[in-house]
Amino acid sequence: MATDWGTLLFGRLSFDALPFYSAIATAAASLVVVGAIAVVALLTWTGRWGWLWREWLTTLDHKRIGIMYVVLSLVMMSRGIVEGSMMRLQQALALNAPGYLPPEHFAQLFSTHGSIMIFFMAMPFLTGLINFAVPLQIGARDVSFPLLNAISFWLTAGGAGLMMASLVIGKFSTGGWSGYPPYTDATFSPGVGPDYWIVALTLGSIGSTLTGVNIAVTIYKRRCAGLHLMRMPLFCWTALCTAILMIFALPPLTVATGLLAMDRYLGMHFFTNDGGGNMMNFANLFWLFGHPEVYILILPAFGVYSEVVSTFSSKFLYGYKALVAATMCIAVLSFTVWVHHFFTMGQNADINAAFGIATMTIGVPTGVKIFDWIFTMYRGRVRFAVPMLYALAFMMLFVIGGLTGILLANPAIDYQVHNSLFLVAHFHNMLIPGLLFGMLAGYTYWFPKAFGFRLDEWWGRLSWGCWVTGFTLAFMPLYVLGAMGMTRRTVTYDNPAYLPYMIVAAVGAAFLLAALATLVTQLAVSIRRRAALAVPAGDPWNGRTLEWSIPAPAPAYNFAALPVVDQRDPFAQEKKRGEAYRPGFIHTDIEMPRNTGVAFLIGMGGAACGFAVVWHIWWLAIASLLFVVATTIARSFQTDLTETIPASRIARDEARWLRQVRAAEPVGRDDETASRNMGLAEASA
């Protein structure tokens, strides 16, 4: 009877779930627990719980939600980089030796590394930048559905929380980031690992789908007067195409994880070949999501590079219409190439040829973008600030990755390097210079608008150098190893020819750890020097788009009066005409959405339900689900949903900002990293 009660109360959860199977796992779990306790202790000691609840956990402000997305991404990136470095060290030590990681732990590492970096680092990072910048760039006060925006974030955070919980309680999946059955079905993997993967990804995919709807509607419906589609900044175009991809690409992933859960929990056989199912159905569903996902990750970075190259060249973006067309072509073509993941899985040569040609075709609009960015820099006044350095490194390194992608689009070559480290090198060659460098460029570029002070330039350059060096050393040798025949996910090997390249890759991983450390140091140094780095006038980079026409940090309502535009790069044109920083309007009251804890409660309820499902604690799963439903219903009865910001306060804030603008010294581009840069830029000629 005691056992029955224990099973009812705790499901499969027992002391065996604690991470004592490995000293490394114990240390990692202890680090997570100690870190969580330290954060709680710090908030308690400083008395900041009330502030955290009022200002952040309950906020509906798109800017703060965007910042929280980026913070979540950086936290998860820290774990992902450490895990990747552990794998590289294991392989450097594993020539005719077991190394320091047992095979199952190594398999968990490559599964968590991929899952975290794709779903809980890359997706939150790009979503955060889109959340923060797009409403400002289109002259809007907020997104179309502020509460839905917050729910999307907290569902994503709940999924990330389950990923972290898997490090402390239980073990994660060993089925890779793609979760293919039969590796993840109940027969092959009866533990909780695949369940953690399923639930975390389901929460994240639902949140991302809702985000896609929100961003698309915001861009369609919330643009300020005069901002036609063909006057939007390129970042808004890439955000729109990304949102559309999210709407159509994420549901296949949700369906795939849902069907896999039914196989595991209800004994069904959607993906069991000898039970009437077909595991290729999972592969098709996953890559119907998975290849558009690559462009969900890349397109926002392309938008960031477009903004950065134009701003730091002090020029209109060359080939604007071509860039818009290329962006839309990439979005459409991204749904036509998923079968290139199956070149070795048995379909006929005609199908392979068709998808090989489609894969090569998608390289054409990408090449158009590269040439347009180069022509934008031509005869521009190029300044090598940190965001521009990331853009330049991207252009050189990403082209290499693109060329290797063209090679892999040839089915004959793909057969030769299938499942080898050549694929790992190509994939990271696309996503690190393509996505990560773009996100770091955007983080550095918009940081002053978010917090009112610039990031330290010296530490930023050092971090950039470590990222570029680390990437080059860690992944370029993998092309050679893949061509030599070394397979991916190899925990040990016996070919001594592999060792020199694995040592170089391990050194590269050390540089990536240094890059992460210098990024954190840059933030700490910048916070300490925030008075010297302050840019209250709001335009530290001689920006061209609307977000640079308001104070830094941006007020809750974004614009004292909604702007009216008549061309692209409206703020740059205003500065040229000498019309910037003129109030010239009558202030009126502004209504903004009132803070609410509903989104936070729904996200945490979803995470609790997911945890309960993983461990078969069915009473908790039902209670959590009912809690989410009850919270949603209770919200529908609330009527006091907005707060009014009085015109007098807006006028007062505007007057104070204009006094700061008048007191600031205009700074030329040669001095934009100097301490006297208060955010008032000299207009470009």
141 shares its domain with 130? yes
The residue range of the domain holding 550 is 47-596+638-663
Determine if residue 551 is left, alpha or beta; phi over 0 gives left, psi from -120 to 50 gives alpha, anything else beta.
beta
670 found inside a domain: no
State residue 475's pLDDT score.
96
DSSP state of 452: S
Enter the DSSP assignment of 286. Answer: H
Q: Looking at the structure, do residues 56 and 37 belong to the same domain, yes or no?
A: no
Residue with tokens 């369609």: 220
Does residue 200 contact residue 610 with C-beta atoms inside 8 Å? yes
Q: Residue 370: which CATH number?
A: 1.20.210.10
Residues near 496 by beta carbon (within 8 Å), at least 6 away in sequence: 95
Same domain, 334 and 459: yes
Check the CA dihedral 642-647-649-650 and report its sign.
positive
12 and 97, same domain (yes or no)? no
Query: Which pLDDT does position 217 carry in this prediction?
Result: 97
d(CA 507, CA 497): 17
- Given a contact cutoff of 8 angstroms between Cβ atoms, the answer to whether 226 and 565 are in contact is yes
DSSP annotation string for 47-75: T-HHHHIIIIIT---HHHHHHHHHHHHHH
Cα gap 150→143, rounded to integer Å: 11
- Answer yes or no: is 185 within a domain: yes
- Please check whether residues 242 and 281 belong to one and the same domain: yes
pTM: 0.96
Whether residues 26 and 136 share a domain: the answer is no
3-state secondary structure 187-221: CCCCCCHHHHHHHHHHHHHHHHHHHHHHHHHHHHH
Q: Count the alpha carbons within 13 Å of 418 in the hemisphere toward its beta carbon.
A: 13
- 85 shares its domain with 40: no
Instruction: Write the DSSP symbol of residue 141.
Output: S
* Other C-beta atoms lying within 10 Å of the C-beta of residue 200: 30
Q: What is the pLDDT of residue 3?
A: 57
pLDDT-flagged residues of the chain (< 50): 1-2
Q: Is the bond preceding residue 553 a cis peptide, omega within 30 degrees?
A: yes
- Domain-located, residue 87: yes
Q: Can you tell me the distance from the alpha carbon of 425 to that of 423, in angstroms, rounded to the nearest whole number?
A: 5
In this structure, the answer to whether residues 24 and 72 fall within a common structural domain is no
Residues in the chain: 685
Are residues 78 and 29 both part of a single domain? no
Q: What SS3 class is residue 401?
A: helix
Query: Contact at 8 Å (CB) between 568 and 315?
Result: no
- 197 lies in some domain: yes
Does one domain contain both 86 and 220? Answer: yes
| Bridge partner residues of 225 (DSSP) | 564
Position 630 in a domain: no
Helices (H) and strands (E) in the chain, counts: 23, 2
pLDDT for res 133? 96
In a domain, 192, yes or no: yes
pLDDT for 15: 87
The angle subtended at Cα 22 by Cα 21 and Cα 24, nearest 5°, is 150
676 lies in a domain? no
Residue 196: other Cβ atoms inside 10 A: 29
Q: Is 417 in contact with 408 (CB distance < 8 Å)?
A: yes
Residues 331 and 401 in one domain: yes
**d(C-alpha 475, C-alpha 421), whole Å:** 9
Peptide bond into 551 cis (omega under 30): no
Both tokens of 441, joined, read 């460029």
Indicate whether 503 and 531 sit together in one domain.
Answer: yes
Give me 224's structure tokens.
Answer: 């300020």
The answer to whether residue 307 sits within a structural domain is: yes
- In the numeric block, which tokens belong to residue 235? 């970042």
Q: In total, how many domains does the chain have?
A: 2
